[in-house]
Amino acid sequence: MNRSVFSKSAAVLICSMYLAAAAAFSASTDVGLPETIPQEPVTAPQTTAAGRAPVTERAAETECATAGDRKMVALTFDDGPSVPHTDKILDLLTINGAKATFFVVGQRVSEYEQVLRREQELGCQIGNHTFDHKTLTALTAENIRAQTEKTDTAVQSLLGVAPQILRAPGGSVNSKGRQNAGKPIVLWSVDTEDWRVGGKRGKNTPANREKVIRAAVDNTQDGDIILMHDLYALTAQCCEQIIPQLRQKGFELVTVQELMEYKCIEMQKGAVYRSARGE
Ligand code: NI
């Protein structure tokens, strides 16, 4: 019954619809990769132009078995949304046929509703990054739950779907955090360290941007989860290089949820995931 914590989410349905539509398009045109296909709108009809059967969650399960040698990674952006950086990143994702995951801070949701709507419309995933960017290991069990639930409520009331994954600020997790997260905790396997050079204490120089770009691209492997922040001008600028360079290396840029589904990983509440590398 409990195939995955996402089984019943609307997000999976939307993802499944996209995958099935992409497969139908590919079959009818002999075009290769799904990422060359225009994004299906969220309101896509449940049957394809070819008149196929209604799409169900089975589409995602099928992809799990057939992902084969496809190389994919998940770009993740924390601490936003922010203007204009998140919008610029969304533009770059769109141009490159890519998606990403945004771990949003709950207190920012009401201020950046349009950006969040756009993230959802583009097929990106929205994750929970607590309400006030609190370090979970410093909180009581009750406050951990309050921080995550408040963010869930803010996103749910705006977008109709609550975040299904949590990223602990600073990556700080202990057993109390795992027990009270209420959802899978997703950390990362590639740290670009944009937070070190992109913030107020850093410098947005060509040399620093190059460091971040190389960190994101050079050693990245199939299944990696890449940490960035859509809070800095530096990060958005780096994405001008990072996104096309990863695509040139043959990576599909998918959401965390898609990455896990393609790699046949069933995420569980309270468990910590750093990648889908299959090690
Ligand atoms: Ni953060």
Q: Give all domains of the chain, ordered by start, each with its CATH number.
A: 71-273 (3.20.20.370)
How far apart are the CA of 66 and the centre of ligand 1, in A?
34
Answer whether residue 10 shows pLDDT above 50: no
Structure tokens that stand for 141 in this block: 């069990």
Query: Measured over all CA atoms, what is the biggest interatomic distance in the chain, rounded to whole angstroms?
Result: 56
Contact criterion met (CB below 8 Å) for 135 and 172: yes
How far apart are the CA of 130 and the centre of ligand 1, in A?
9
Answer whether residue 140 shows pLDDT above 60: yes
Query: Is 229 labeled as catalytic in the residue annotation?
Result: yes
Closest Cα partner for 253 from 128, 146, 93, 130?
93
> Residue 35 class from Cβ within 10 Å (0-12 exposed, 13-18 middle, 19+ buried)?
middle
Query: Is 78 labeled as catalytic in the residue annotation?
Result: yes
How far apart are the CA of 279 and the centre of ligand 1, in A?
26
Answer whether residue 163 shows pLDDT above 60: yes
**Confidence band for 42, pLDDT divided at 50, 70 and 90:** very low
> Which residue shows structure tokens 């700080």?
172
**Confidence band for 59, pLDDT divided at 50, 70 and 90:** low
Residues at Cβ < 5 Å from ligand 1 ion: 78-79, 169
Q: Identify the active-site residue in 87, 129, 152, 229.
A: 229
* Pick from 12-21, 70-79, 137-146, 170-179: least confident: 12-21
